[in-house]
């Protein structure tokens, strides 16, 4: 691919204040239009890595450049960066006091300074895209988990980000709702959205990812296109991990 | 026996016990030869005395022939003054009166000292509450601020105020600040009550903010909202629901605490009660009445807040 590099992480280390090493030395480059899936055992640092990409976790060593913003630099403009990097959480984290529509229009209005009508227009288009046009006036608590997560994806999209980070977007869902969320993500991928996805859905990884990355104990142990990753795993620890999850 | 019947029996027992308590009190008062004179109380709620109309300067009274107009002319100079709203004239045409003399009485019916006191209590409580909310919001935000100086100052305020008695604070405000800044007793009372209550409100605000899950902050930041926008549009609205119930309790405390301002030259409900007791010698009746009036204020407030809570609760 000749696309520009959107995320460039070099030897990133994250030591939490309590001394735990969340990331040891992680290096990764994500190009525009790529879908990168990150897998690994619990506690291997997947969430930590993802959260360093939008500055939710400050790194303690190394370099990260996202969409031209050097996150490791002092005084990095995190706000400007976060407008370009969307995030979808395991627990949805919708704003419970706002309607679905207000969830989608808040940031575009306050951050991008869109007018009310522009923001609403954009929000309604996105709700249609995720199949929730009829839920605009509902509150998050009135929706199912799968619907909430689709709203959360629409909320991230409303900022028209360059890349979206997904941290186990289906792990908190009842099994019958996993499909509808994965379908929306698959759709985004085909439209060329750049995505970094932490997930346990190996089927999704195999079908949608351009590259799959295996993390263990704060390190990236290997990365490969899905076919090679799943059918000819290069690393012994990856083999034992795949035996457990497949 | 059905569940509801049993419950009503328990309620009946509670009422019976309260009635017994009342009777006991009555009998005890009889033993010390206490004469109950409830009939004296109404006149201190609704006054039939009428208010005094006083001469504004030294001069001579002028009453019209039909007795419908009352005015006076100054002893020196040509100043005149017309009295309005009087119903009884207590002086005669041509009388020489001096500044401050009562020359007439207004309409017979007006609020008695207890109602006037209640009004002052209401005014001072409402005004103090407004300022206490402002102080509490500012210092509550200070408590959770990222800035260490703001955190220190807010903690200092809260600790100092919560660690000293309100009565002492009132004395300090009244005698020190009152003399230096020349504040009126009313202003001093508002300042003391607002500063005192504000410290508690700050803690309530802090607790409310901290009870909102950190994930909400992360979600707000991840869509690019600034720290202030996150607080304003995401955290505070959610904290409000958690803040309301303890805030209602604190407002009720404020109304009750306001009785301490009676140590200053302020005739609030409590001070009015004391004055009425000293002229009636019916302490039980007066203090029961005063207590009931406080209950009325606090009761109305709790009902109002419960309404608000319901409205917020329906959002999820
Ligand atoms: N806020 C934190 N403070 C201290 N240690 C943390 C914090 N967050 C994560 N860690 C630690 O960092 C390591 C990596 O955690 P991380 O959440 O990134 O793992 P993960 O791969 O996302 O795991 P999971 O699959 O369970 O979500 C773990 O040992 C974890 O205990
Ligand atoms: Mg995780």
Structure confidence at residue B315 (pLDDT): 55
B314 has a pLDDT exceeding 70: no
**Option in A54, A87, A106 nearest B233 (CB):** A106
Quick one: B126 and B219 in the same domain? yes
Evaluate: CB of A80 within 6 angstroms of ligand 1: no
Quick one: B134 and B193 in the same domain? yes
Q: Which domain holds residue B96?
A: 48-110
Residues A175-180: contacts with CB within 8 Å, 24+ apart? A177/A144, A177/A145, A177/A146, A177/A149, A178/A146, A180/A131, A180/A146, A180/A150
**Option in A78, A97, A155 nearest B223 (CB):** A155
Evaluate: CB of A149 within 6 angstroms of ligand 1: no
Quick one: B244 and B142 in the same domain? yes
- Which CATH number does the domain housing residue B82 bear? 2.40.50.100
A222 has a pLDDT exceeding 80: yes
Q: How far is A83 from chain B (nearest CA, A)?
A: 5
Residue A74: count other Cβ atoms within 10 Å of its Cβ: 5
DSSP B176-188: IIHHHS---HHHH
DSSP B38-93: GGGSHHHHEESS--EEE-SSSEEEEE-TTS--EEEEESSSS-EEEE-SEEEE-S-T
Interface-testing mutation among A93, A159, A167, with chain B (most B C-beta atoms within 10 A): A93
Chain A contact residues (CB < 8 Å to B): 54, 56, 78-79, 82-83, 85-87, 89, 91, 93-97, 106-107, 110-112, 139, 141, 155-156, 158-159
B80 has a pLDDT exceeding 80: yes
Longest dimension (CA), chain A: 55
Q: How far is A3 from chain B (nearest CA, A)?
A: 25
Q: Are A238 and A41 in contact (CB under 8 A)?
A: no
Structural domains of chain B, count: 2
B265 has a pLDDT exceeding 70: yes
Q: Do B234 and A95 touch (CB under 8 A)?
A: yes
Structure confidence at residue B39 (pLDDT): 84
Instruction: List pLDDT tens digits, range B94-143.
Output: 888 888 787 777 776 778 889 999 999 999 999 999 999 999 999 999 99
- For the CA of A50, the closest atom of ligand 1 is 18
Structure confidence at residue B68 (pLDDT): 78
Quick one: B119 and B105 in the same domain? no
Structure confidence at residue B78 (pLDDT): 81
Position B69 confidence tier, pLDDT thresholds 50, 70, 90: confident
Q: Do A94 and B233 touch (CB under 8 A)?
A: no
Evaluate: CB of A227 within 6 angstroms of ligand 1: no
- For the CA of A218, the closest atom of ligand 1 is 14
Instruction: List pLDDT tens digits, range B173-197.
Output: 988 877 888 888 899 999 999 999 9
Handedness of CA B231, B232, B238, B240 (dihedral sign): positive
ipTM: 0.92
Q: Do B224 and A141 touch (CB under 8 A)?
A: no
Nearest CA to ligand 1 atom 24: A42
Residue at B298 is within a domain:
no
Evaluate: CB of A48 within 6 angstroms of ligand 1: yes
Evaluate: CB of A225 within 6 angstroms of ligand 1: no
Mean pLDDT along residues A113-141: 95
- For the CA of A49, the closest atom of ligand 1 is 18
Which residues of chain B have a CB within 8 Å of the CB of A87? 218-219, 222
Quick one: B79 and B163 in the same domain? no
Provide the whole-model pTM.
0.82
**Option in B223, B229, B315 nearest A139 (CB):** B315
Interface A–B counts its CB contacts (< 8 A) at: 64
* Domain end among B86, B110, B134: B110
Return the minimum-mean-pLDDT range out of B18-22, B157-161, B269-273. Answer: B269-273
Nearest CA to ligand 1 atom 30: A43
Both structure tokens of B7: 């419950």
Evaluate: CB of A245 within 6 angstroms of ligand 1: no
Residue A128: count other Cβ atoms within 10 Å of its Cβ: 13
Pick the residue from chain B with its C-alpha nearest to A96: B316
Residue A220: count other Cβ atoms within 10 Å of its Cβ: 22
Both structure tokens of B86: 């009087």
From edge to edge, which strands make up the β-sheet containing A61-66? Answer: A69-70, A61-66, A5-15, A21-31, A219-224, A211-216, A35-39, A194-198, A163-167, A85-88
- For the CA of A45, the closest atom of ligand 1 is 18
Residue at B303 is within a domain:
no
CA B62-B68-B71 angle, 5° bins:
30
Both structure tokens of B32: 């010390």
* Domain end among B91, B110, B129: B110
Quick one: B106 and B118 in the same domain? no
Mean pLDDT along residues B237-264: 91
* Domain end among B110, B135, B163: B110
Evaluate: CB of A20 within 6 angstroms of ligand 1: yes
Rounded to whole angstroms, how far apart are CA atoms B166 and A73?
50
Mean pLDDT of chain B: 88
The fraction of chain B above a pLDDT of 90, given in percent, is 48
Q: How far is B224 from chain A (nearest CA, A)?
A: 5
Q: Are B260 and B84 in contact (CB under 8 A)?
A: no
Quick one: B237 and B120 in the same domain? yes
Alpha helices in chain B (DSSP H): 3-31, 42-45, 113-143, 148-162, 166-171, 178-180, 185-211, 214-222, 227-229, 236-257, 269-280, 283-313
Residue at B246 is within a domain:
yes
- Which CATH number does the domain housing residue B193 bear? 1.10.3720.10
Instruction: List pLDDT tens digits, range A199-218.
Output: 999 999 999 999 999 999 99
- Strand-pair category, B96-97 with B59-63: antiparallel
Residue at B59 is within a domain:
yes
Structure confidence at residue B55 (pLDDT): 80
Report how far apart, in Å, the C-alpha atoms of A1 and of each of A4, A33, A34, A190, B268 are. Answer: 9, 9, 9, 16, 81
Quick one: B146 and B243 in the same domain? yes
Rounded to whole angstroms, how far apart are CA atoms A64 and B207?
36
Mean pLDDT of chain A: 93
Structure confidence at residue A125 (pLDDT): 96
Quick one: B133 and B205 in the same domain? yes
Residue at B223 is within a domain:
yes
**Option in A91, A96, A159 nearest B224 (CB):** A159
Quick one: B56 and B137 in the same domain? no
Structure confidence at residue B260 (pLDDT): 93
DSSP A217-229: TTEEEEEE-HHHH
User: Exposed, middle or buried, A186 (CB in 10 Å: 0-12/13-18/19+)?
Assistant: middle
Q: Are B53 and B81 in contact (CB under 8 A)?
A: no
Residue at B81 is within a domain:
yes
Quick one: B87 and B192 in the same domain? no
Residue at B189 is within a domain:
yes
Residue at B304 is within a domain:
no
Substitution site in A17, A22, A24 for ligand 1 pocket (most atoms within 8 Å of beta carbon) = A22
Position B238 confidence tier, pLDDT thresholds 50, 70, 90: very high
Rounded to whole angstroms, how far apart are CA atoms A102 and A120?
8
Chain B contact residues (CB < 8 Å to A): 215-216, 218-226, 229, 233-234, 237-238, 315-316
Quick one: B121 and B248 in the same domain? yes
């Amino acid at each position: 691919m000749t696309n520009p590099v959107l995320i460039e992480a070099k030897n990133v280390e994250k030591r939490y204040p309590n001394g735990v090493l969340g990331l040891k030395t992680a290096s990764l480059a994500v190009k525009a239009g790529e879908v990168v899936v990150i897998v690994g055992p619990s506690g291997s640092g997947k969430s930590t890595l993802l959260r360093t990409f939008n500055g939710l976790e400050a790194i303690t060593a190394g370099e990260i450049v996202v969409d031209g913003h050097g996150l490791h630099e002092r005084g990095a403009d995190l706000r400007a960066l976060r407008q370009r990097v969307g995030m979808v959480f395991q627990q949805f984290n919708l704003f419970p006091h706002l309607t679905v529509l207000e969830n989608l229009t808040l940031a575009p209005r306050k951050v991008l300074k869109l007018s009310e009508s522009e923001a609403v227009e954009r929000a309604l288009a996105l709700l249609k895209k995720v199949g929730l046009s009829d839920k605009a006036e509902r509150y998050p608590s009135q929706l199912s988990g799968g619907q909430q997560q689709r709203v959360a994806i629409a909320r991230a999209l409303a900022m028209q980000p360059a890349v979206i980070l997904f941290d186990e977007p289906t792990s908190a869902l009842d099994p019958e709702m996993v499909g509808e969320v994965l379908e929306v993500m698959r759709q985004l991928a085909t439209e060329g959205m750049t995505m970094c996805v932490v997930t346990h859905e190996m089927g999704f990884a195999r079908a949608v990812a351009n590259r799959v990355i295996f993390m263990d104990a704060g390190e990236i142990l290997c990365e490969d296109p899905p076919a090679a990753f799943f059918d000819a795993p290069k690393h012994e620890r990856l083999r034992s991990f795949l035996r457990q999850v497949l | 026996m059905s569940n509801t019947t049993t419950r009503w029996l328990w309620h009946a027992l509670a009422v019976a016990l309260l009635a017994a308590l009342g009777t006991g009190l009555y009998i005890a008062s009889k033993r010390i030869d206490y004469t109950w004179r409830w009939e004296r109380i109404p006149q201190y709620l609704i006054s039939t005395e009428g208010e005094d109309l006083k001469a504004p300067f030294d001069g001579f009274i002028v009453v019209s022939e039909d007795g419908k107009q009352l005015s006076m002319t100054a002893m020196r100079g040509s100043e005149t003054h017309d009295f309005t709203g009087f119903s009884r004239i207590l002086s005669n045409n041509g009388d020489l009166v001096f500044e401050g003399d009562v020359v007439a009485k207004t309409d017979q019916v007006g609020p008695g000292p207890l109602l006037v006191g209640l009004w002052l209590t209401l005014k001072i409580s409402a005004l103090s509450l407004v300022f206490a909310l402002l102080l509490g919001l500012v210092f509550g935000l200070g408590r959770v601020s990222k800035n260490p100086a703001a955190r220190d100052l807010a903690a200092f305020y809260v600790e100092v105020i919560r660690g000293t008695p309100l009565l002492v604070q009132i004395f300090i405000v009244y005698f020190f600040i009152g003399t230096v800044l020349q504040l009126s007793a009313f202003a001093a009372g508002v300042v003391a009550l607002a500063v005192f209550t504000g410290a508690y409100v700050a803690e309530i605000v802090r607790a409310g903010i901290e009870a909102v899950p950190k994930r909400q902050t992360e979600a707000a930041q991840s869509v690019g909202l600034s720290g202030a926008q996150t607080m304003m549009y995401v955290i505070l609205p959610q904290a409000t629901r958690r803040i309301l119930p303890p805030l209602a309790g604190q407002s009720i405390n404020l109304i009750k605490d306001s009785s301490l301002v009676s140590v200053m030259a302020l005739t609030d409900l409590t001070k009015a009660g004391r004055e009425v007791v000293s002229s009636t010698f019916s302490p039980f009746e007066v203090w029961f009445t005063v207590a009931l009036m406080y209950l009325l204020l606090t009761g109305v407030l709790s009902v109002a807040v419960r309404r608000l809570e319901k409205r917020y609760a329906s959002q999820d």
